[in-house]
Amino acid sequence: MDKTHLILTFAHRGEAQSFLKELPFKSIAQDHYQWDDGAIIRSLIITGEGLENTTLKLAKTLGDQSANHLINLGICGHIPRAGEEFSIGQVIQVRTAMKAESTNDLVFKSYTTSSDTKLKLPQADLISTVNRVLDKKNHAKFSPFASLVDREAWAIGLVADHYQTPFSVIKVISDFADGEFCQMVKDDALIWSDSLLREYLKWEALLLDQEKESDESFTQDFPELYLTVSQERTLSNLLKALRLKGREVSSLKEETNYNEICAQKIHPKKKSKIFLESLKDILNPLEKELRDRLSQQTKLLSQAGFQVRFDQGFEKEVLHLNISLENEEEYKRAIRALEQYDFKKFQKTIRGDLLV
Amino acid sequence: MFSRILIENEVKDLPTTQKILKRFPSLPYQFIDRIDDVFGRVKKPYLQKRQNLQLFLGKKRGQLVKEAPDAYGLAGEPHYYFIHAYNCIYECEYCYLQGYFHSPDIVLFLNHDEIAIEIQNTLSRHEGTVWFHAGEFSDSLALTHLTGELPFYFDLFRKFPHAKLELRTKSANTRELLKQTPCPNIVTSFSLSPQERIKKTDLKTPSLKHRLLAMRELQEAGFPLGIHLDPIIHEDNFEESYQSLFAEMDHYLDLTSLEYISMGVVRFTSNVFHQVKKNYPDSELLAAEFSSSFDGKVRYPRPFRQWILGKIRDIALGYDVSPEKVYLCME
């Protein structure tokens, strides 16, 4: 996936009208539009109302083409609750999307959006309901959990989770979830779609800034190395961990004798391997100390032909030895090595007698 | 601190409830039937505690006193914990509460009388010393100025000298405790770490100095104290850090009169470790030399743990702490 791909989902065309009017989206299939500006592909999907429609449409789209981020935009109902009272037309960023099968049946699984405080929108939690909430009688059941209701956002979370894609939800409040909304939605649809577009553009700018930052490769500081894909991933992980420990690239180059490794006349992949091993030793000094000690202690056994293994995590004072003997000479050498082996020393090491 | 209060109908008229409501006059509140109807019903991300922390007041139902796991406290005596709260106002990066309740909201149970009955029932099944720990799922002192249960537990444990109560805390909120008359079988234990470590990982907790000052005040007033050096997190200079920590502890406290010093090395269930990765992607804990251990927990391999604990134990003994007062927690 070279270009950044963003998927915008709306339940109804009315919610998307400003996007389709103001931005150069082109229809590529029914209810599916795309705008490719060379660097970013934006897919706009009209899913239809409800959790099932949203799940089906979005899962199909993501199955066809993966995305960097999903965003659901649209209207939602508001159940005012203590400390969270919004007004009609206000734009809200959703924090967590929950699902209610009915007023008495909230689903445990919730999905947390990648809400961004830099967007400076109020944040709130939302419940996606199977049926429309049209009666104030239901409010008391929902209000301890969330102050927004819709019929799609949870499904976006479900699909996003399945495809391990981050998602966001931005909603404009259209009604108070009491049944009095249809005419208002019609009248104000364009204004609300404009509000959503305005916030979407801010959201997109922030997202792309963040992606640019995270795209800065950890590995660019080591142009002399030839790295396989797997080695590149290992290097990236090691450098990330070392940075968490406050280590700078310049000092790591010095500590690992980076220039000397690069100057060696060996296979490029081998150079990278040596360098990665050195980084691992810097990241895990205790493990290196333990490994060196045990390797020193079992040198005789290895020389006699034993394969030596230890308990995983060294929790048990167990030494696993494996050997194939083909003649009496090998047998005698193995016995001699075993007789000379200092098991107590091994036990002391496992019990924490480290030199570090 | 809180965004709203949710109150079980059954406790709405209790004096503690009224006291808390008076304490937060502008905070919105709502009545609910049962805490269980709302708390943990839907997964709520841990870090929402920063923007949207709710306070629940209600009654604890079900098992009120539970047996503590092995190696929880001083060896040779039975240990139990009782549950009077869920979750904590602090935010330690290694905290196991991240993966425990599926919600960071604070729950305060107000039916201390029922907890007391259960403590007495438990006591009746034993003859010798029995330990009861408060603070398994919360900090024992951090909110005591709101909850006001300390006099109740002091009165209770004064009646049962063979029962020991441990109040575990990272706070320096000892105001309510100091109003009590010290009781030899009620031990207040403070979790301490080197200041640099507190700054890095024990977010929103009081500084080491504030905790030590609070401890000194308690010790001078005659309150029995314990110390938990838990979790110990390895760093290159950990020996010097713990040398300095002991020097500071020694400066403020009489270490020889402590009830105990427990030591435990940082550990996580795999679920909690996953939460740490999610919640604190820049934490240096994620660069530590952990491996999966004998009990499925993520921790340092045994030789490292033993080595770290041995070093710190030696430092403690160097300050004349008697060896039988030093125990290893969860090892």
Report how far residue A149's alpha carbon sits from residue A147's, in angstroms, rounded to the nearest whole number: 7
Task: Give the pLDDT confidence score for residue A231 in this predicted structure.
Answer: 87
Task: Give the pLDDT confidence score for residue A179 in this predicted structure.
Answer: 67
| Residue A353, CB-side half-sphere exposure with 13 Å CA sphere | 8
Domains within chain B, CATH numbers bracketed: 4-328 (3.80.30.30)
Residue B30 has φ and ψ, to the nearest 5°, of -150, 145
Is residue B63 pLDDT above 60, yes or no? yes
**Interface mutation vs chain A, best among B307, B309, B328, most A CBs within 10 Å:** B307
**Residue among A143, A246, A351 minimizing CB distance to B306:** A351
Q: By three-state DSSP, how is residue B328 classified?
A: strand
What distance in Å separates residue B236's CA from the closest CA in chain A? Answer: 9
SS (H, E, C) A300-335: HHHHCCCEEEECHHHCCCCEEEECCCCCHHHHHHHH
Query: What does the block give as tokens for A106?
Result: 């909230």
Report how far residue A208's alpha carbon sits from residue A198's, in angstroms, rounded to the nearest whole number: 16
Name the interface residues of B facing A (CB cutoff 8 Å): 3-4, 6, 27-30, 32, 37-38, 41-45, 48, 51-52, 102, 234, 236, 282-284, 286-287, 289, 291-294, 300-310
Q: Which residue of A has its CA nearest to B36?
A: A144
Task: Give the pLDDT confidence score for residue A354 in this predicted structure.
Answer: 72
Task: Give the pLDDT confidence score for residue A218 in this predicted structure.
Answer: 65
Question: What's the mean per-residue pLDDT of chain B?
Answer: 94
Q: Which residue of A has its CA nearest to B8?
A: A144
Task: Give the pLDDT confidence score for residue A345 in this predicted structure.
Answer: 93
Q: Which residue of B has its CA nearest to A114?
A: B45
Compute CA B50 distance to the chain's CA centroid, rounded to the nearest angstrom.
20
For chains A and B, CB pairs below 8 A equal 106
CB contact under 8 A, B307 and A353: yes
pLDDT digits 0-9 by tens, B132-147? 999 789 999 999 999 9
Q: Which residue of A has its CA nearest to B3?
A: A83
Mean pLDDT by 10 residues, chain A (356 residues): 87 95 94 92 95 94 92 95 89 96 85 85 94 76 91 96 96 85 70 94 89 63 85 88 88 92 90 94 91 93 95 88 96 96 93 75
Report how far residue B56's alpha carbon sits from residue B60's, in angstroms, rounded to the nearest whole number: 11
% of residues, chain B, pLDDT over 90: 89
State the alpha helices, DSSP H only, in chain A. 13-22, 51-64, 139-142, 153-162, 182-215, 229-244, 249-255, 258-263, 268-283, 285-297, 299-303, 328-340, 343-350
Q: Which residue of A has its CA nearest to B290?
A: A313
Judge contact between A51 and A128, C-beta under 8 A: yes
Judge contact between B71 and B129, C-beta under 8 A: no
Report how far residue B171's alpha carbon sits from residue B190's, in angstroms, rounded to the nearest whole number: 8
Task: Give the pLDDT confidence score for residue B244 in this predicted structure.
Answer: 98
B43 vs A contacts (CB less than 8 Å): 108-110
**Residue among A83, A96, A109 minimizing CB distance to B3:** A83
Residue A232, C-beta contacts closer than 8 angstroms, at least 6 positions apart: A219
Closest CA to A286 of A200, A237, A355: A355
pLDDT digits 0-9 by tens, B201-225? 999 999 999 999 999 999 999 999 9
End-to-end CA distance of chain B: 36
Angle in degrees, CA A88, A90, A94, rounded to 5: 115
Strand order in the sheet with B225-232: B65-67, B79-82, B130-134, B163-169, B186-191, B225-232, B260-265, B326-328
CB contact under 8 A, B305 and A352: yes
Task: Give the pLDDT confidence score for residue A355 in this predicted structure.
Answer: 61
